[in-house]
Amino acid sequence: MLFQIAWRNIWRNASRSLVVISSIIIGIWAGIFILSFSWGLYKNNINESVYRQLSHIQIHHPTFGYEKDSKFTIQNTDAILKQFQSDGRIASVSARVIATGMITSPTTASGVNIYGIHPPSEITQIALNQSIKKGTYFESGKDNAILIGEKLAKKLKIKLKSKVVLTFTNVNTDIVSAAFRVGGIYRSKNSSLDEVNVYVPQNHLRELLELKPSESNEIAILIKDELQLEAIKNDCKTLVSNAKIEDWKELSPELSLIIESFNLYTYIISGLILLALTFGIINTMLMSVLERIRELGMLMAIGLNKRKIFIMIMLETMYLTVLGCPIGLLFGWLTVSVLGKIGINISMFSEGLASYGFSSMIYPELDQEKYIIIVTMCLVTAILSAIYPAYKALQLNPSEAIRKI
Amino acid sequence: MAKTIIDAHNVSKTFNPKTVPVHAVQNVHLHIEEGEFIALVGPSGSGKSTLLNMMGGLDEPTAGTVFIDGVEITKLSENKLIDFRLHNIGFVFQSFNLIPVLTAKENVGFVLQLQHMSKKEREKRVLNLLKEVGLEDKINSKPGELSGGQQQRVAVARALASKPKIILADEPTANLDSKAAANLLDIMAKLNKEEKITFLFSTHDQRVIKKARRVITLVDGKIDSDVEQSPT
Ligand SMILES: Nc1ncnc2c1ncn2[C@@H]1O[C@H](COP(=O)(O)OP(=O)(O)OP(=O)(O)O)[C@@H](O)[C@H]1O
Ligand SMILES: [Mg+2]
């Protein structure tokens, strides 16, 4: 009976109840959209990093580390590459020779990371050829071709075909200088890296560094299915002895921090939205309780005890949330599903975002875990916002309430 | 000798005792027996509502004791009192008697449901009650679809439903035209006569007062006169 009365009560002022329900729907829908959009942005960033820069797994000499000292190498990389290439779970693999040094133009100089690459490998590995803005991707076949970022070119005030000099120390700690000619200028989605990464043919750099023919500093692996990451990492350990094997999360702690912090972000966003909704709901329900003081007094007079009054008001509030939440969730889920497929073009803002590593198409996405968080928080809201108005109704004194008749 | 329903001793009620004390009811003794049909009259502000509320356990006397059917209600806790009202007292107020979202039938059935009466029994009793107040054709109407007099009749049926010891009615006819008022009083008088239902109602209306068999007059919170009369 209380269920029925409560249900009918919320439709006494249908427009008011609908306003509350719609605000819940819109709030939750907006919350889901914001979260899925942000996650889409993050995902974009992560993919950008993994497929354009980090790869899933990187293998280095244990002490190669941050300073990128060229003398810490992995031996026999040709054989290792061959092994990986025959593994069906691996999408692409490449070996790199790396040095840090200076690039000098006629006007100025800048610190750079010099990557000695095998050009065809990096097409599948980081799609480097797609970033070429001017010139070609090592089509000249010349040993002294160098690929530099647009930003660096601007800084050095050089153009295509300009001559630059790279200076670095070789493995015997001798300082080496070599002249290169700009064969291509690239622009990636991560403009901060464009300023420091330059690419040259691998064999030439290896010679300049005085490394042995099959020695490399880095092996990068792209895998087909992320779920196999751990297994493949383990296989790497047996295949390459004495090496540090790291996946993209270890390589880029910022990325894993982003992922970790996203849960917190979910709580905060949905918490804020639901808090705002809670106030709206409480306000409306208090209004509806105050309007019905006499009626509630009458109910107490004829024998409805306080527990039942409390339950009745609780139910009324909870009906509102329980109606609004699933619809909001459904709308949110539908929006995410649709936009997750067609994507949102944010090229209007992408100029700025590109420098943070974002591309201009965002595919909103939200995993189950986040939905569970949102549903839980909805339930908490439903209960919390129901308690106060019901509690207020209990404060009524029936004789005073009735006197107002 | 008839059974005592209400036995009130030296009941007083003072509002705002600390600031501006209003002695709404002072040292009232009241003895009501089963089957009585009593009008409580007196000028506005004389304490009629206050007294009725105290008799029904809606308000607590500042002093004095109230027994209803031998139970000292002035000693009951709030929740016990609500439960006591549910089983022992029927109320009819001036207005806002009914739950607006329920039909006449549901309104009357509501108290029975609170008393956990089975659905079948309930249906039967509700129909009988509504028939007694002459509303058998309005059982599925909501209060908003009923006239003031019809609403008050539903309220009487609802008050009767729980088989209370007494029905307390505070100006039940105040919002009714004279025809509807007379009709309501006739129904109450009939129930009193045929089913021995005890009624205590306050009123200003001379025609209503005439229907009572005992008239208690309050002046300034005190009983000024308490007389038996033969109703007309
Ligand atoms: N809650 C309250 N606080 C203060 N004074 C009150 C309160 N309720 C009633 N009174 C006062 O108590 C006195 C009796 O009021 P009561 O309502 O019992 O009179 P009444 O006889 O029912 O009058 P009416 O015929 O107008 O309904 C009045 O003076 C009134 O102002
Ligand atoms: Mg009164």
Residues A260 and A150 in one domain: no
Whole-number Å distance between alpha carbons of A171 and A208: 9
SS3 annotation, chain A: CHHHHHHHHHCCCHHHHHHHHHHHHHHHHHHHHHHHHHHHHHHHHHHHHHHHHHCCEEEECCCCCCCCCCCCCECCHHHHHHHHHCCCCEEEEEEEEEEEEEEECCCCEEEEEEEEECHHHHHHHHCHHHHEEEECCCCCCCCCEEEEEHHHHHHHCCCCCCEEEEEEECCCCCEEEEEEEEEEEECCCCHHHHCCEEEEEHHHHHHHHCCCCCCECEEEEEECCHHHHHHHHHHHHHHCCCCEEEEHHHHCHHHHHHHHHHHHHHHHHHHHHHHHHHHHHHHHHHHHHHHCHHHHHHHHHHCCCHHHHHHHHHHHHHHHHHHHHHHHHHHHHHHHHHHHHHCEECHHHHHHHHCCCCCCEECCCCCHHHHHHHHHHHHHHHHHHHHHHHHHHHCCCHHHHHHCC
Confidence of residue A354 (pLDDT cuts 50, 70, 90): low
Residues A68 and A35 in one domain: no
Q: Is the pLDDT of residue B73 over 70?
A: yes
Distance from CA of A39 to the nearest CA of B (A): 46
A149 belongs to a structural domain? yes
Rounded to an integer, the average pLDDT of B214-221 is 95
Q: Is the pLDDT of residue A350 over 80?
A: no
Amino acid, single-letter form, for residue B114: L
Q: Is the pLDDT of residue A356 over 60?
A: no
Give the closest residue to A382 by CA, choosing from A310, A318, A303, A307: A318
Q: How many domains does chain A have?
A: 2
- CB contacts of A304 in chain B (<8 Å) are 82, 86, 114
B8 belongs to a structural domain? yes
Locate the chain A residue with the closest alpha carbon to B81: A303
The residue among A227 and A189 whose pLDDT is bigger is A227
Whole-number Å distance between alpha carbons of B86 and B99: 16
Give the pLDDT of residue A359. 64
Report the share of chain A in percent with pLDDT over 70: 96
Give the pLDDT of residue A66. 73
Which residues have CB atoms below 5 A from the ion given as ligand 2?
A: B 49
B109 belongs to a structural domain? no
Residues A69 and A215 in one domain: yes
Residues A80 and A201 in one domain: yes
| Cβ distance of B99 and A295 shorter than 8 Å | yes
Q: Which helix (H) or strand (E) holds B201?
A: strand B198-202
Confidence of residue A405 (pLDDT cuts 50, 70, 90): very low
Confidence of residue B149 (pLDDT cuts 50, 70, 90): very high
Q: Does A306 touch chain B (CB under 8 A)?
A: yes
**pLDDT per position as a tens digit, A248-296:** 989 888 888 888 888 788 888 888 988 998 999 999 999 999 888 888 9
Amino acid, single-letter form, for residue A341: K
Locate the chain B residue with the closest alpha carbon to A8: B101
Distance from CA of B159 to the nearest CA of A (A): 8
Domain that holds residue A71: 62-242
Domain that holds residue B216: 4-97+162-228
Q: Does B122 touch chain A (CB under 8 A)?
A: no
- CB contacts of B59 in chain A (<8 Å) are 399
Give the pLDDT of residue A335. 93
Q: Does B158 touch chain A (CB under 8 A)?
A: yes
Distance from CA of A311 to the nearest CA of B (A): 14
Q: Does B94 touch chain A (CB under 8 A)?
A: yes
Q: How far is CA B219 from the centre of its chain?
A: 20
Residues A262 and A238 in one domain: no
Rounded to an integer, the average pLDDT of B49-57 is 93
Rounded to an integer, the average pLDDT of A316-338 is 92
Residues A173 and A278 in one domain: no
Give me the CATH number covering residue B59: 3.40.50.300
Give the pLDDT of residue B162. 87
Give the pLDDT of residue A353. 57
Question: Between A14-49 and A368-394, two packed helices, what is the crossing angle to 10 degrees?
Answer: 150
- CB contacts of B94 in chain A (<8 Å) are 405
Residues A24 and A98 in one domain: no
Mean pLDDT of chain A: 89
B154 belongs to a structural domain? no
| Cβ distance of A304 and B59 shorter than 8 Å | no
Residues A79 and A35 in one domain: no
Burial class (CB in 10 A: 0-12, 13-18, 19+), A169: middle
Question: Between A253-291 and A14-49, two packed helices, what is the crossing angle to 10 degrees?
Answer: 180
Compute, in degrees rounded to 10, the torsion defined by CA atoms B178, B179, B181, B183. Answer: 160
**pLDDT per position as a tens digit, A56-98:** 999 999 998 877 888 899 999 999 999 999 999 999 999 999 9
Please state, in angstroms and as integers, the Cα–Cα distance from residue A2 to each residue in A311, B23, B39, B78, B142, following that order: 8, 39, 35, 21, 17
Other CB atoms closer than 10 Å to residue B3's CB: what's the count? Answer: 11
Burial class (CB in 10 A: 0-12, 13-18, 19+), A163: middle
A54 belongs to a structural domain? no
Q: How far is CA A95 from the centre of its chain?
A: 27
| Cβ distance of A294 and B83 shorter than 8 Å | no
Q: CB–CB of A302/A5 below 8 Å?
A: no
Give the pLDDT of residue A78. 92
B108 belongs to a structural domain? no
Q: How many domains does chain B have?
A: 1
A56 belongs to a structural domain? no
Last residue of a domain, one of A190, A218, A242: A242
Return the SS3 of A386: helix
Whole-number Å distance between alpha carbons of B189 and B167: 12
Q: Which of A12, A301, A306 is opposite residue B101, by nearest beta carbon?
A: A12
> Which residue has the CA at smallest separation from atom 12 of ligand 1?
B24
Give the pLDDT of residue A383. 87
A55 belongs to a structural domain? no
A128 belongs to a structural domain? yes
Whole-number Å distance between alpha carbons of A206 and A214: 9
B147 belongs to a structural domain? no
Q: Which of A61-65, A142-146, A209-213, A401-405 has the lowest mean pLDDT?
A: A401-405
Rounded to an integer, the average pLDDT of A210-214 is 91
Rounded to an integer, the average pLDDT of A375-395 is 88
B156 belongs to a structural domain? no
| Cβ distance of B85 and A301 shorter than 8 Å | yes
Last residue of a domain, one of A242, A263, A279: A242
Residues A350 and A265 in one domain: yes
Residues A112 and A44 in one domain: no
Q: CB–CB of A394/A306 below 8 Å?
A: yes
A77 belongs to a structural domain? yes
Residues A72 and A217 in one domain: yes
Confidence of residue A344 (pLDDT cuts 50, 70, 90): confident
Q: Which of B93, B99, B102 is opposite residue A402, by nearest beta carbon?
A: B93
Q: Which helix (H) or strand (E) holds B174?
A: none
Other CB atoms closer than 10 Å to residue A38's CB: what's the count? Answer: 19
| Cβ distance of B94 and A405 shorter than 8 Å | yes
Amino acid, single-letter form, for residue B197: I
* Region class of A378: left (phi > 0), else alpha (psi between -120 and 50), else beta: alpha
Interface test with B, best of A12, A302, A305, A306 (most B CBs within 10 A): A302
B190 belongs to a structural domain? yes
Last residue of a domain, one of A209, A242, A275: A242
A249 belongs to a structural domain? no
B23 belongs to a structural domain? yes
Other CB atoms closer than 10 Å to residue A67's CB: what's the count? Answer: 9
- CB contacts of B86 in chain A (<8 Å) are 302-304
Whole-number Å distance between alpha carbons of A340 and A178: 48
Handedness of CA B139, B144, B150, B154 (dihedral sign): positive
Residues A68 and A42 in one domain: no
**pLDDT per position as a tens digit, A126-151:** 989 988 999 999 998 899 999 999 99
Q: Residue B143 contacts by C-beta under 8 Å, 6 or more apart in sequence?
A: B98, B99, B100, B102, B104, B107, B151, B154
A247 belongs to a structural domain? no
**Token couple for B174:** 């105040």
Give the pLDDT of residue A351. 61
